[in-house]
A and B are shown apart, each in its own frame.
With several copies, the nearest count.
Chain A
Amino acid sequence: MDANPIVLDDAAGDVVVVVVEGEHDIYTAPTLRERLDEALGRGGGVVVDLTAATFVDSSILGALLDARRRAQEQARGFVVSVGAEVEPGVQRILDITGLVPVLPVIDGREAAISAARDGVSGSPG
């Protein structure tokens, strides 16, 4: 009964989705890093779905940026997806850090999966 789960979803086949729900900070950042390692280990594209996340802090952004860098090094797709209604505890930090084009952040899990499949992994690196 984890109120803030982070699970891998393999349904899309060649793109693995890391589904992040609830509040995440320095306490759960190590778990996210593990899941991201696992996802990168699968060899395909990676999507991190924040649709059901209610709060993420800079430790979480740090974990995402590290994973993105590794995906880029391996020329793999890496995309973050959000829902149509983004929680203030997620939207605000993405907005003010200017990370939307960088990560990149895309609306909708399906669109993110397609982009990751195409090898998208953010603005010019």
Chain B
Amino acid sequence: MTERPEVRLTMAALPEGVGVVRQALAGMADALAFDQGVLADMKMAVTEACTNVVVHAYADDGSDGTADTLEVDLLADELGLTVVVRDRGSGIKPRAARSTPALGLGLPLIAALSDAFEVRGSSGGGTEVRMTFHYMRDADPVESNPIGETGWVPPDRPT
């Protein structure tokens, strides 16, 4: 697989950008005659990754006027489509350093819905989430990455 992206989308890390990425992805998957179920999972996982960039990557919500960017690369190979969501932000901090309480459902959803995924520091600083979605699936990836096993527990669930 070559690392040159088929397509790169670059935009500001703003809430309205997340839907733009999702719609662009949907449009392009349409051209690839992607399986509808896989496409739905891809839209969900990519939405969560982009939301994390908007919510977590940049400290001050762009109030310093710098260009807080959200970058999305699409890489296609024989097996499937890899989507890389990249930011130039603060990087993932240890849990203790976080202030706002959150659902903590984003990364578990990405893990559950993708056929393979990886989170790593991006070379430009910041974070890079790579998610691969196979054109054909033998099994539902949720079976092998059930959300419960990633540590996420629904609130008030009888335990």
Contact = CB atoms under 8 A, between A and B. Distances in A.
Contacts of B41: 92
A43 interface: no
B40 interface: yes
Contacts of B62: none
Interface residues of A, number: 28
B33 A3 contact: yes
B125 interface: no
A92 B44 contact: yes
B121 interface: no
Given A26-B18, A57-B44, A61-B103, A122 B109 contact: no
B40 A27 contact: no
A24 to B, nearest CB: 9
B43 A58 contact: no
Given A96-B112, A96-B142, A25 B18 contact: yes
A61 B105 contact: yes
A27 B142 contact: no
Interface in A80-125: 88-89, 92-93, 96-99, 102, 122-125
A123 B18 contact: no
Interface centre among A2, A57, A124, A125 (most CB of B within 10 A): A57
B35 to A, nearest CB: 10
A125 B156 contact: yes
B156 A123 contact: yes
B108 to A, nearest CB: 9
A58 B48 contact: yes
Contacts of B18: 25-27
Contacts of B102: 62
A69 B147 contact: no
A65 B155 contact: yes
Interface of A: 1-3, 23, 25-27, 55, 57-59, 61-62, 65, 69, 88-89, 92-93, 96-99, 102, 122-125
11 contacts: A3-B31, A25-B19, A26-B51, A55-B47, A58-B105, A96-B146, A97-B109, A97-B147, A102-B156, A102-B157, A124-B156
